[in-house]
Amino acid sequence: MKIVDAKVVVTSPGRNFVTLKVTTDEGLTGLGDATLNGRELAVVSYLEDHVVPLLIGLDAHRIEDTWQSLYRGAYWRRGPVTMAAIAAVDVALWDIKAKAAGLPLYQLLGGASRDRIRTYGHAEGRDLPELLDSVRARLSQGFPAIRIQTGIPGLTSVYGVHTTDTDDKPVPHQGAQPLVEDWDTEAYLRHIPRVFEAVRAEFGPELALLHDAHHRLTPIQAARLGQELEPYRPFWLEDCTPAENQEALRLVRRHTTVQLAIGEVFNTVHDYQTLITEQLIDYVRSAVTHFGGVTPLRKLFDFAAQYQIKSGIHGPEDISPVGMAAAVHLDLAVHNFGIQEYSGHNALTREVFRHAYTFTDGHLHPGEAAGIGVELDEDLAAAHPYRQAYLPVNRLHDGTVHDW
């Protein structure tokens, strides 16, 4: 079965998504997500200018060989642009292979290891009463686990606390210049333990609570936060430091038993080597879309499993339904599944990308459609073209740029 066409579709049904559509001489098509928030067009060029010409004529069944030739053949390895492009090809080819077999993708990955996929949702509030209301709203949607983020006294805008559109999804900041958020680590460190205390007092000991520090702390600050959160037993503390410095986690780990999750900005297994082999973390966070696809993420999970580390796939709204679908198939199949982040998408996005996966009672299931189970409405996609939009930058009170 030969690849006869591959095209890149960019659409913005609320936020930007980049999708690769691969077509074979047998008429089968496959979709892959290549969305890299704020750098979308770099991946479009990488695909259109440098990858699509290589794909035409290849055997669509040779997924591993195609992956290796795109990764090794470019000479310039790794990096988010490269790995998002390779991910799109990989997922599109898995979609085609599963369609050719007449099976949902999870069946080709070993079949279901569980009946349904536990998720966590996001609760957020500018202050505590707003956060408590938001937790109640997530509970009423059935979420068994909830990430809590709040405004910090003295700061005007903070990570994870968004303005929302009518469909309750964060609206990305559009235009040529990113929004500037402000940051004060000491104010944050004073506030967050009080937030956990209040949420536990309101909702009791059983609710799984998560928190994302979004790479803002030094190792010793992260260690202190971990210690102070221990009495409230968080499910995990995410991205406590910028973990491209993997050795930093040795220091954090020495001081706290809080479970640690890391990896949404990582794109190869090499970013995890020390973290996994020294058992410095508990959950690996990479997304199918940013890690080169299902093929390498499956290998990462198998590697992590030898160290009792589980999956916690990144699932923000900037992963398209195509990327989410691939994640949900993998979640169902791997033994060391931990939890799946689930932000969902607005109604228009769900029309552009009609998907077979379902969300019921706080749990996802990939559905039984052959392939990954997503159909792209190309006319509707074309009616909502790319809009320039960037993630915020983060500055201290004196104007210094801080980690975001």
Among all residues, which ones are annotated catalytic? 159, 214
Residue 242 touching ligand GCO (CB under 6 A): no
Q: Tell me the closest approach of the beta carbon of residue 131 to ligand GCO, in angstroms.
A: 16
- Binding map of Mg ion across residues 171-210, x = CB under 5 A, - = no contact: ----------------------------------------
Which of 65, 60, 148, 48 lies closest to 101, judged by CA?
60
Residue 282 touching Mg ion (CB under 5 A): no
Distances (CA, A) of 228 to 209, 224, 237, 250, 347: 15, 6, 12, 18, 40
- Indicate the SS3 state at residue 148: strand
Taking the least distance from each CB to ligand GCO, the nearer of 310 and 314 is 314
Which residues are paired to 120 by β-bridges?
Answer: 145, 341
In whole angstroms, what is the distance from residue 110 CA to residue 112 CA? Answer: 7
Taking the least distance from each CB to ligand GCO, the nearer of 278 and 403 is 403
Binding at 316: pick from Mg ion, ligand GCO, none (beta carbon under 5-8 Å per type): ligand GCO
Q: Tell me the closest approach of the beta carbon of residue 69 to ligand GCO, in angstroms.
A: 29
Taking the least distance from each CB to Mg ion, the nearer of 191 and 211 is 211
Residue 12 touching ligand GCO (CB under 6 A): no
Distances (CA, A) of 242 to 76, 247, 288, 404: 23, 11, 20, 9
The residue type found at 202 is E
Q: Of the ranges 9-17, 249-257, 313-321, 332-340, which one interacts with ligand GCO (CB under 6 A)?
A: 313-321
Residue 66 touching ligand GCO (CB under 6 A): no
Residue 318 touching ligand GCO (CB under 6 A): yes
Binding at 139: pick from ligand GCO, Mg ion, none (beta carbon under 5-8 Å per type): none
- Indicate the SS3 state at residue 186: helix
The answer to whether 403 and 130 have CB atoms below 8 angstroms apart is no
Binding at 37: pick from Mg ion, ligand GCO, none (beta carbon under 5-8 Å per type): ligand GCO
The answer to whether 159 and 180 have CB atoms below 8 angstroms apart is no
Tell which one of 95, 228, 264, 271 touches ligand GCO (CB under 6 A): 264
In whole angstroms, what is the distance from residue 125 CA to residue 277 CA? Answer: 37
Distances (CA, A) of 231 to 16, 46, 188, 235, 238: 40, 47, 18, 12, 17
In whole angstroms, what is the distance from residue 404 CA to residue 264 CA? Answer: 13
Contacts of ligand GCO in 189-218 (CB under 6 A): 212, 214
Q: Tell me the closest approach of the beta carbon of residue 38 to ligand GCO, in angstroms.
A: 7
Which of 332, 360, 355, 335 lies closest to 345, judged by CA?
355
Which residues are paired to 395 by β-bridges?
Answer: 182, 401
Distances (CA, A) of 301 to 85, 86, 94, 287, 318: 21, 18, 18, 12, 22
- Binding map of Mg ion across residues 354-393, x = CB under 5 A, - = no contact: ----------------------------------------
Total site size for ligand GCO, rule CB under 6 A? 9
Q: Tell me the closest approach of the beta carbon of residue 287 to ligand GCO, in angstroms.
A: 8
Find tokens 């202190």 and name the residue.
Answer: 224
Q: The tokens of 392 are what? A: 């915020």
Cβ-closest position to Mg ion:
212
The answer to whether 5 and 308 have CB atoms below 8 angstroms apart is no
- Binding map of ligand GCO across residues 73-112, x = CB under 6 A, - = no contact: ----------------------------------------
Find tokens 């795109």 and name the residue.
Answer: 70
Report the half-sphere exposure of 48 (CA within 13 A, side-chain side): 12
Q: Of the ranges 190-198, 300-308, 314-322, 354-362, which one interacts with ligand GCO (CB under 6 A)?
A: 314-322
Q: Tell me the closest approach of the beta carbon of residue 115 to Mg ion, in angstroms.
A: 27
Residue 37 touching ligand GCO (CB under 6 A): yes
In whole angstroms, what is the distance from residue 158 CA to residue 135 CA? Answer: 18
Contacts of Mg ion in 225-244 (CB under 5 A): none
Residue 212 touching Mg ion (CB under 5 A): yes
Taking the least distance from each CB to ligand GCO, the nearer of 377 and 403 is 403
Binding at 341: pick from Mg ion, ligand GCO, none (beta carbon under 5-8 Å per type): ligand GCO
Taking the least distance from each CB to Mg ion, the nearer of 118 and 122 is 122
Which residues of the shown chain bind Mg ion in the complex (CB under 5 A)? Answer: 212
Which residues of the shown chain bind ligand GCO in the complex (CB under 6 A)? Answer: 37, 212, 214, 264, 314, 316, 318, 341, 391
